Copies of this chain bind each other. A is one copy, B any other.
Amino acid sequence: MNGAESLVHTLLANKVDVCFTNPGTSEMHFVAALDHIPGMRSVLVLQEGVATGAADGYFRMKGKPASTLLHLGPGLANGLSNLHNAKKAGSGVVNIIGEHASTHIELDAPLTSDIEGIARPVSHWVHTSKSVETVGMDAAQAVQAAMVAPGQITSLILPSDTAWNEGGVAHGAIDLPEPAPFDESQLEHAVDALSGPETLLLLGGNALTTRNLETAGRIAAKTGCKLLSEWSNARLERGAGRVFIGRVPYPIDIALEVLKPFKRIVLIGARAPIGFFAYPDKPAILTREGAEIITLAAENTDLTEALTALCKATDAISTPPAHVVKAALPERPTGTVNLDNLATLIARAIPEDAIIVDESVTSGRAFSPATKAAPKHTWLNNCGGSIGYGMPAAIGAAIACPDRKVMCLTGDGSAMYTVQSLWTMARENLDITVMIFANRSYQILRGELTNVGVGNPGPRAIDMLSLDRPALDWVQMSRSMGVEATCVSDCDALEAALDDALTSSGPYLIEVML
């Protein structure tokens, strides 16, 4: 068995059975191994940002890593910004990156680059295999590192001679790490805080599962504490029958207002709220001055255990949870689509068990409250702030959960970043409804100009934030890559389009003119 074959066998033995890839010459032996060893689903993408974003979405829904197969430093580089997003989301990803043969690196060929250097800023674990014999073990360790809670980015660099040489040794299933224990020493402290008024229980990561939210709902009912989640959540279970939890708002002035009442904040899988950006003359720390922050459970710890312990300690085990959502469908809106009725239409359209991948930026500010009482669904946010995460993550989610509908809600500016995603959706016939909110601008930046103190932007500044010259035609764009599409601007048409998309299978794109 050659090194490439030992890699594929090892990944499969460790339950890594999906590979998002755009391979090149240095990865041809892996392509050959994927060809003749059954079990790995290889998904071709047309730009590596799609591969890494898909791996992010896949982990969030499947709880185990996908692999990516990337061509040398530049292939990794193209995937870097979505690895940044995945890292911030706590997603586990196993990157396999081809490298020139060991003897070739010193020759400084055109494609030679410092691959470890490129990988390091977005990776928790970076390793270059030294010989064919260790490839299997290295791959097993990469999977192990990717599964460190909540999930980590691992980058395994394989010189092509370690792939093509004979002498590969496949590794079996490796022990997977347990999450670290939560900080039990803070438990009493947390209980004290919750027994007082003006206390916030702030949840993140794995604390947002259906079961954990139910536990949090019991604690809230018992103690009267408030519940919030972070602005961006890797995965949040929502909808009718579940415990509702709001999010810390993005706009800094509103966030300050919302957090102002809380003198005590207990953190479980969340971090103390800070501003997304710094702004002149505004605070970066969003909690009130002197607020007491109690970190009961950091992101890498067992959040289920922490919540359960807190529930017991507050004597809330048999308290019925607060904030359980009753199913309710908002009234059917009519007229031209605007940001409010758009949110209503989405709330009315969400099918039970849908996965919502949200990169709606400014268009989506009303979505969260509006969809509160929709049928139960899963909501994924962009956690790293680098735009272009949405469509790739939808691909990963759809591959992880082929029996669930995926809705990808994205701004036009964000969607253009990884527009190549549409082709992979078509190729794999993924059950994804993409909604493009076409406001034809980087709308969020118009607000940010004001926030940073630029009061009266001139025409050249406005032009740098506008996408209207020329207007993007998303229907043609989508069809050019094999995804059927329609463009709507009024409520009836949008409702009909959503109905079409969500009752048929395969990808569909709806351009919503705003």
Q: Mark A residues whose CB is within 8 Å of B.
A: 21, 23-26, 28-29, 31-32, 34-36, 42, 44, 46-47, 49, 73-75, 77-78, 80-81, 84-85, 88, 100-101, 103-104, 107-111, 113-114, 117-118, 120-122, 160-161, 164, 232, 271, 274-278, 280, 284-285, 383-386, 388, 413, 416-417, 419-420, 423, 426-427, 444-445, 448-449, 451-454, 457-461, 463-467, 469-477, 479-482
Shortest distance between the CB of A102 and any CB in chain B (Å): 9
* Residue contact A445 to B477, C-beta cutoff 8 Å: no
CA distance A232 to B110 in the complex (A): 9
| A473 partner, pick from B73, B84, B164, B480, beta carbons under 8 A | B480
Shortest distance between the CB of A414 and any CB in chain B (Å): 10
* Residue contact A78 to B417, C-beta cutoff 8 Å: yes
* Residue contact B480 to A445, C-beta cutoff 8 Å: no
CA distance A459 to B47 in the complex (A): 22
* Residue contact A80 to B118, C-beta cutoff 8 Å: yes
CA distance A63 to B459 in the complex (A): 30
CA distance A473 to B477 in the complex (A): 9
CA distance A461 to B480 in the complex (A): 25
* Residue contact A461 to B118, C-beta cutoff 8 Å: no
CA distance A465 to B69 in the complex (A): 13
Shortest distance between the CB of A126 and any CB in chain B (Å): 12
Shortest distance between the CB of A283 and any CB in chain B (Å): 10
Chain B: CB-nearest residue to A69: B464
Additional 12 contacts, C-beta under 8 A, given A46-B416, A417-B420: A42-B460, A42-B463, A77-B77, A104-B277, A109-B275, A114-B121, A160-B277, A472-B480, A473-B479, A473-B480, A476-B476, A477-B477
